[in-house]
Structure 1
Amino acid sequence: HRSFSESDKPSPESTELPVDWSIKTRLLFTSSQPFTWADHLKAQEEAQGVVQHCRATEVTLPQSIQDPKLCTELRCAFQQSLVYWLHPAFPWLSLFPRIGADRKMSAKTSPWSNDESLQRILMSDWSVSFTSLYNLLKTKLCPYFYVCTYQFTILFRASGLAGNDVITALMSPTTRGIREAMKNEGIEFSLPLVKESGHEKKTASGTSLGHAEEQAISDEDEEESFSWLEEMGVQDKIKKPDILSIKLRKEKHEVQMDHRPESVVLVKGTNTFTLLNFLINCKSLIATSGPQAGLPPTLLSPIAFRGATMQMLKARSVNVKTQVVSGYKDQFSLEITGPVMPHSLHAMTMLLGSSQRGSFSAGLYTHEPTAVFNICPPVDKVLGKETVREELANCGLHPKTLDQLSQTPVLGKSSLRNVEMSDYLYNWRA
């Protein structure tokens, strides 16, 4: 258990949690009330939950459920909150997380690793699925989705979410190579954590990128005059122009930020469509060697799309006796594992408020490379809650979840780690 520093002070109590755009790998809920209602769903409840998900049925549970074990509505809604959609799907391979998953995957067979025609089929299938997701997003029928490659993750969000009035895509971590390639494709993007102030370009950590602008003469002029001196063979007698060392310093910094949260890239509006095409044709999207060779990136979505497979987060309840002064006390816990997306986390906390009589605590385990998705990107025009509710009414999410996801992010580069609900009020720590 990590100790909390000053910046980790618990939040003031509130009826809502801040939005968390990171993907969780595991949630561990504990409560003094049992979670036995979550076990052994009847076949009918399981079926009903699946249908409720597919038809985006809005379930509103009473604030407190007297006997959760007998509450069919609760159990169906629980099943509904466990559904997610995935492409590609190979039952013997765990397709999330992809970053740092080589060791886990190494013993598994991948029939496509040396078969180019099979790789082409997988990739064209993937392109169809990816395009389908993007079209759903554009028409506001899908709220957001993730593209998980073996090196970076991209979060695409519909217009109206996270306080933005256009489609946004956050990509992290990036390298100078991929940023250059994007520039060459004409994709406009910004580096929100690399702040520009006056003449000095500073990164979020405050280190300077060098005073290139102070050079009155442009790079090219300098370089041209220098190559002319070189032709005359006198370049060694003259001090090398400073502009080159400045350029090198700038490049060194750009490379230093590679693979780190600071390298997060933001793409907005129609540029996200150019990004889609770039990714479909991008060779470095897929590993060429190692256990992930030839495997297209994982697409994760809250709703169905072409070529997607319906998956379920795994849930299991455990009862633990904990020692207290007077003897032993029952402590009940519920563990959820799998790629837990933001809407699932919200749906679960709403459910558990009702089932655990407004009192539970949760440990949240983040897929660390996605924590940076909680930065607050610059917003041109903030949309009101009502507008977002209207525009995204058919995106498949509960209106309350939608309200939460349309909030402006406040967690910065961190993510929720502990959540306490007591008497229907939240305290949280990031």
Structure 2
Amino acid sequence: MAELLPGYSPSFKKPSEILRLSRRRSRSEASKAGVSPFSPGDVTKRVPGLRPFSPGPNKGAGVKRRNPFANLENTVCSPVKRRAESVPECASPEPRALVAARPSCWELGSPSPQPPQFNSVEDVIWGDPLADPLVKTESPEKPATACETPKGSVTFPADWSLKTRLLFTSSQSFSWADHLKAQEEAQGLVMHCRATAVSLPHSIQEPKLSTELRCAFQQSLVHWVHPSFPWVQLFPRIGIDRKMVGKNSPWSHDESLQQVIMSEWALSFTSLYNLLKAKLCPYFYVCTYQFTVLFRAAGLAGSDVITAVMSPTTRGLREAMKNEGITFTQPLVEEDPSKKQKNSEANSQGDITPKKENGNTETDEVSDESDEDESFSWLEEMGVEDKIKKPDSISIKLRKEKNEVKLDHKPESVVLVKGTNTFTLLNFLINCKSIVAAAGPQAGLPPTLLSPVAFRGATMQTLKARSVNVKTQVRSGYKDQFSLEITGPIMPHSLHSLTMLLQSAQRGSFSAGFYSHDPTAVFNTPIHPQAAKEISADLQNCGLHPSTVEQLSQVNQLGKLSLRHLELSDYRYTWKS
């Protein structure tokens, strides 16, 4: 065929001949320049787009063979180059020196990266995909989370979640917390009832000989509960049906007994709210088998009014609250963008009327109905309203409620009630039959009331404390490790009081692991009010230590998380949530 067609050249069928000519050309060029015939380093310097050769022995081969099927399009945007761009730095086979020398497009203040410059077709074909300056070589540093303080702080943020277990560990012994004397135990109970504030020294050399420390430890373990049935677990109430199976509950099938128990519970609940309103009780919890409610006095969590936080909730519960006239907000639910735009336009036009906190008022319902009418008005204008089937009102309502149902039993379903609406919530909970289980192990059992101070019908109880000494293996042998375990319904004031005691007793060094009741972690959600003034003066008679009141008065910082780990080193705290 070559003889018939003079312009035809079957050279592509003989790559060895092409390589031989290429080597001869490279040797001739090298001899003219007065250098060795071939050197991988020299070729890299002479042709910047060439890939470096492997460190294996050179068997006389010249430059790397050119791909005869390559062209400009499929080389610049080749799959190899795309894969190289997606390969992270840790998986790159390129030396770190080359990566560090190349400019990174993540550096702040650096000019925008320029596209690679190719001087010839070979530069494009032989170009190293990893030499592209657009390739991302370094990942940006992750911003430090707000939940960690690397430098430490003299205090730690308030945690409004209920704890079920605390585990403190230290290199110093916790033997001082064991086997309290009868006099020390009695003195600690009296100190709690009289709200005696204890000021301990900065460091205690002999904690076991300090009677004041041991009495203060007993004082920090006291809390008040209603109702009280020693054979029944009253906290937590959510998800404990299996543990309560087989327990004797005479009220579950006796309606008259249920009425007596519920009437006493209503009196205790009302007594607690009156103490809260008078600022003689800082806060209390209402624990049902479905949700938990935290009532806080005015001045706590940065709010100048009484607040109540409820979680988790369901759409049915929220609808029942709206029907009772309870105004509330959902802090973790983002507002509808269309409504947000309408509100901003109304505010810009001078409408400063405060918006009600509950989402569906009568005006909102009217506006929603008008929006529905407007959405189908264009069908009437076109004259096809009879030919197209419009969704009925039930379908429209279900579509709107779909997003609300998705929030059920999730942290985002948390509800916030403020001011006088908390009293309406009190009456709603007293008269609501659904807060008491109708069947199952918890049938007929009223919600658990937890408070740091005494109230009508309450029972004094103490947290359980147990110290353990273990030996941990280190390089040189074994080292003594001491731990203190606290179990029970641990409220925020107990957590702060215990850390203050351990700070002095353990010489400013310990670590702690916290086990929270998950449904209550969302109670740390900030409510964004104006800061209250003269908080300490108003709450000086609430029964808590002044430093504890100061901590609980701060605006929430943990969001919908809770403290998981706390460490004290050289009298400075670091924490994780």
TM-score (norm 1): 0.90
> Any idea what the Cα deviations from partners look like across 1:13-35, whole Å, max 9, x if unmatched?
10011010000000000000000
SS at match of 1:179: helix
Check 1:72–1:216 CA distance in 2 against 1; reply closer, same or farther (3 A cut).
closer
Alpha-carbon shift at residue 183 of structure 1 (Å): 0.6
Residue aligning to 2:177: 38
Q: Given the alignment, which residue of 525, 531, 535 partners 1:382?
A: 531
Alignment of 1:28-427 (within 5 A): 28-196=167-335, 198-199=337-338, 218-219=368-369, 237-241=387-391, 246-379=396-529, 381-384=530-533, 387-427=534-574
How far does residue 74 in structure 1 lie from its aligned partner after superposition?
Answer: 0.2
- Counterpart CA distance in 2 for 1:141 and 1:375 is 24
Residue 243 of structure 1: CA displacement? 7.5
Q: Given residue 98 of structure 1, which amino acid in structure 2 is its aligned partner?
A: R
Query: 1:342 Cα deviation (Å)?
Result: 0.2
1:219–1:243 CA contact under 8 A, matched in 2: no
Please state whether the residue corresponding to 1:396 is helix, strand or coil: coil
Shift of residue 285, structure 1, vs aligned partner:
0.6
Q: 1:217 to 1:164 in 2, by over 3 A?
A: closer
Of 129, 149, 155, the residue aligned with 1:11 is: 149
Instruction: Flag the 1:237–1:370 CA change in 2: closer, same or farther, 3 A.
Output: same
Q: Using the alignment, how far apart are the partners of 1:152 and 1:43 within structure 2?
A: 39
SS at match of 2:252: coil
Quick one: distance in 1 between partners of 2:296 and 2:366? 41
Structure number with greater CO (CA < 8 Å, separation at least 6) is: 1
- Count of residues in Structure 1 that have an aligned counterpart in Structure 2: 408
Distance of 2:298 and 2:270 partners within structure 1: 17
| Contact 1:8/1:429 (<8 A) preserved | no
The alpha carbon displacement at 1:314 in A equals 0.1
CA distance in 2, matches of 1:308, 1:32: 38
Q: Note closer, same or farther for the CA distance 1:235–1:102 as it changes in structure 2 (3 Å cut).
A: farther
Structure 2, gaps ≥5 residues long: 1-142, 342-358, 377-383
Which structure would you say has the larger Rg? Answer: 2
Query: Aligned partners of 2:472, 2:328: CA distance in 1, in Å?
Result: 52
Structure 1 contact 147–298 (Cα < 8 Å) conserved: yes
Q: Which amino acid aligns with 1:395?
A: C
| Paired letter, 1:350 | M
State the secondary structure of the residue aligned to 1:162: coil
Q: Give the direction of change, closer, same or farther, for the CA distance of 1:248–1:17 in structure 2 (3 Å limit).
A: same
- Deviations, residues 43-67 of structure 1 (Å, cap 9, x unaligned): 0000000000000000010010010
Q: Aligned Cα RMSD in Å?
A: 2.6
Q: Structure 2 CA distance, aligned partners of 1:200 and 1:104?
A: 46
Amino acid at match of 2:284: F
- 1:247 CA drift (Å): 3.5
Tell me which amino acid in the other structure corresponds to 2:483.
S
Supply the AA of the counterpart residue of 2:172: Q
Structure 2 residue 173 is matched with structure 1 residue 24:
no
- 1-side partners of 2:367 and 2:256: how far apart? 52
Counterpart of 1:20 in structure 2: which amino acid? D
Deviation at 1:94, TM superposition (A): 1.0
Aligned letter for 1:151? Answer: Q
More off after superposition, 387-396 vs 234-243: 234-243
Give the superposition deviation at 1:197: 5.3
Question: How far apart, CA to CA, are the structure 1 residues paired with 2:337 and 2:214?
Answer: 57
Q: In the alignment, is the contact (CA less than 8 A) between 1:222 and 1:243 conserved in 2?
A: no
Q: Is the 8 A contact 1:185 1:278 kept in 2?
A: yes
> Counterparts of 2:250 and 2:336 in 1: how far apart (Å)?
52
TM-fit CA distance, 1:201: 7.1
TM-fit CA distance, 1:378: 2.5
Return 5+ residue gaps in structure 1 as ranges: 203-208, 227-233
Distance in 1, Cα, partners of 2:324 & 2:385: 36
Three-state SS of the structure 1 residue aligned to 2:522 is: helix
Distance 1:108 1:8 in 2: 45
Give yes or no for contact 2:283–2:452 (8 Å, CA) kept in 1. Answer: yes
CA contact (8 A) 2:147 2:558 kept: no
Q: Is the 8 A contact 1:83 1:311 kept in 2?
A: yes
Identity %: 72
Distance 2:499 2:277 in 1: 28
Structure 1 residue 238, shift from structure 2 partner? 3.0
Aligned residue identity for 2:563: L
Specify the SS of the correspondent of 2:167. Answer: strand
What's 1:229 paired with?
A: none
Output the CA distance in 2 between the equivalents of 1:263 and 1:7.
24
Distance between the aligned counterparts of 2:568 and 2:511, measured in 1?
Answer: 6
Q: Structure 1: which amino acid aligns with 2:531?
A: V
* Deviation, structure 1 residue 11: 1.8
**Pairwise CA distance, 1:195:** 2.1
Could you say which residue in structure 1 is the equivalent of 2:349? Answer: none
The answer to whether the 8 A contact 1:195-1:201 is kept is no
C-alpha contact (below 8 Å) 2:164/2:488 kept by paired residues: yes
**Aligned-residue offset at 1:106:** 1.0
Q: Which moved more, 1:241-250 or 1:100-109?
A: 241-250
Task: Name the CA shift for 1:197/1:382 in 2 (closer, same or farther; >3 Å).
Answer: farther
